[in-house]
Structure 1
Amino acid sequence: MAESREHTFTGVRGLNTVREWPNDEPRYVVILIHGYGEHIGRYEHVADRLVRHGAAVYGLDHVGHGRSEGDRVLIEDFEDVVTDVHAVEERARADHPGVPVVAIGHSMGGMIAARYAQRYGTGLAALVLSGPVIGEWEVLPALLALEEIPDIPIDPATLSRDPAVGAAYAADPLVWHGPFKRATLEAFATTLTAIAKGGTFGALPTLWVHGEDDQLVPLGPSRGGIDAVRGTDLTERIYPGARHEVFNEVNKDEVLDDVTAFVDRALAGR
């Protein structure tokens, strides 16, 4: 695996931890944006593949996640998280002036990346959305309608057809295994509305990857959300039988091949 290092910076709501997978002469920079309840350390193999493809990779643990400060999984405003991600991009640009930047976000991170593209997309060379929470996320109104949020953890079996992925997730002490926080769910709803009203991605090359059998963020409602914001350059890859975490699926090499081929095309078109 590629070597990595960590640093911290003061984000909008506290001290955030960032992991870097360096590359002395990168062809491009990747900003990795992780999903709900997890942390950037679960993307070691993704970063390794991207470094070998020519990238320098950066990713933060969002507020309340992983090694960053904050009440666990409490995000009161995703605009603050977008601002924190932009601070990481600014650090990456300072390290690698003039190098094109690609944003890659998974699940909640896909939602954050979509909003990021609306706010800062003019500075991006490409955007990758993996199983993004976008459009209508049916679990959201159902949970918010309840008087008390049930303490039902995510079923690890919904992540991947590879049982080792679920086992590692269940045993990971940096993963949150408790209930949603109501304020976080309300922030999800606010952000999905903001994305729907925020305009398209324009000419930004965008790759949407999704598992056909994604039970956590079902394909159909996400398609509606993608259609609302897609610009003039959208590529989609739907993987038959794949579950939520396509970067951790049994065909993850195929998925990462698709990502790197897409990045090559986007960079060649600049």
Structure 2
Amino acid sequence: MADAREHDLDGTRGTLFVREWPHPRPRCLALLVHGYGEHSGRYGEVARVLTGHGASVWAPDHAGHGRSAGERVLIEDFEDVVTDVESVAARARAAHPGLPLVVLGHSMGGLIAARHAQRYRGTLAALVLSGPVIGAWRTPGRLLAAADATGAVPAVPVSPAALSRDPAVGAAYAADPLVWHGPMKRPTLEAFVRTLETVDKGGDLGGLPLLWLHGDDDRLVPLPGSRTGVERLGGGAHTERIFPGARHEVFHETCKEEAFAELTGFLDRVLPR
């Protein structure tokens, strides 16, 4: 795989840092949408699989994340993040006109990707959701309800052990200076609550090919809550693969080769040759 190229785009909240993993003759565009508190640099292996399968891969660091501008992990309106994602998609289309676009969103990125698919209907060839924050995700409401008299929410950072059964994944996450290791912020939690409701009411995707991947031991985004949102979004016609024993990050799990095979097999089925 070629080394990643780096771009700076004008985002809704300042400079947006974007990685591009190029392909000399791509058959499709793939847009990676990362999760809460992390950054696009954690998706190098997913990008390798996708470029090896003919994709030109693009991935922004969201506002307040990674190397993009903004107060750390502060998202006041997810609609702005969706607009940023579409700006990256537009840059990718300008580089490779006419190619089908696949959007892959993980965790919080699944919420963003789902909303992007609703807002930009007809521009995607397929949607992939990995451990998506969608449907009945209770964490934001619980943290907001537990706020103290000053309005401060409890400090409950992401546990590295919740990501994967591979201890090296958790160790790398804990040591990554671009990962946020502090508490969630009240405006971000409130934005989660609003956007979960927006996506829930935004309707299904009208037959857009949708692949849902999830670990059945995901304690950060439990599977049953995601199922309600995915089934509503996909209109009951989605493809799903649940990995027994897997935790939150199936592409970093001990079963990651199976997850990659599901991803590439799905793309082969839904994209033109």
TM-score, normalised relative to structure 2: 0.96
**Contact between 2:214 and 2:248, CA under 8 Å: does it hold in 1?**
yes
- Residue 35 of structure 1 is matched in structure 2 by 35
- Residue 241 of structure 2 is matched in structure 1 by 237
Q: Which letter does structure 1 place at the counterpart of 2:2? A: A
CA drift of 1:154 comes to 1.0
Q: Which letter does structure 2 place at the counterpart of 1:5? A: R
- Residue 105 of structure 2 is matched in structure 1 by 105
SS at match of 2:271: helix
1:226 is aligned, of 223, 226, 230, to 230
How do residues 111-122 of structure 1 correspond to structure 2 at under 5 angstroms? 111-122=111-122
SS at match of 2:73: coil
Counterpart CA distance in 2 for 1:140 and 1:23 is 39
Q: Which letter does structure 1 place at the counterpart of 2:116? A: Y
**Contact between 2:207 and 2:234, CA under 8 Å: does it hold in 1?**
no
- Residue 214 of structure 2 is matched in structure 1 by 210
- Residue 262 of structure 2 is matched in structure 1 by 258
- Residue 71 of structure 1 is matched in structure 2 by 71
**Contact between 1:67 and 1:174, CA under 8 Å: does it hold in 2?**
yes
**Contact between 1:203 and 1:232, CA under 8 Å: does it hold in 2?**
no
String of CA shifts for 1:63-90, please: whole Å, max 9, x gaps.
0000000000000000000000000000
- Residue 10 of structure 2 is matched in structure 1 by 10
SS at match of 1:121: coil
How do residues 133-144 of structure 1 correspond to structure 2 at under 5 angstroms? 133-144=133-144
- Residue 175 of structure 1 is matched in structure 2 by 179
String of CA shifts for 1:195-241, please: whole Å, max 9, x gaps.
01101011100000000000000001111111222136410000000
Structure 2 unpaired stretches of 5+: none
SS at match of 2:137: coil
Q: Which letter does structure 1 place at the counterpart of 2:156? A: I
Counterpart CA distance in 2 for 1:191 and 1:219 is 19
Counterpart CA distance in 2 for 1:232 and 1:28 is 26
String of CA shifts for 1:108-158, please: whole Å, max 9, x gaps.
000000101101131101000000000111111110112222223211110
Counterpart CA distance in 1 for 2:156 and 2:134 is 22
Counterpart CA distance in 1 for 2:2 and 2:242 is 28
CA drift of 1:24 comes to 1.7
- Residue 130 of structure 2 is matched in structure 1 by 130
Counterpart CA distance in 2 for 1:255 and 1:134 is 20
Q: Which letter does structure 2 place at the counterpart of 1:102? A: V
Structure 1 unpaired stretches of 5+: none
**Contact between 1:202 and 1:232, CA under 8 Å: does it hold in 2?**
no
**Contact between 2:208 and 2:234, CA under 8 Å: does it hold in 1?**
no
TM-score, normalised relative to structure 1: 0.98
1:166 is aligned, of 167, 170, 183, to 170
**Contact between 1:105 and 1:112, CA under 8 Å: does it hold in 2?**
yes
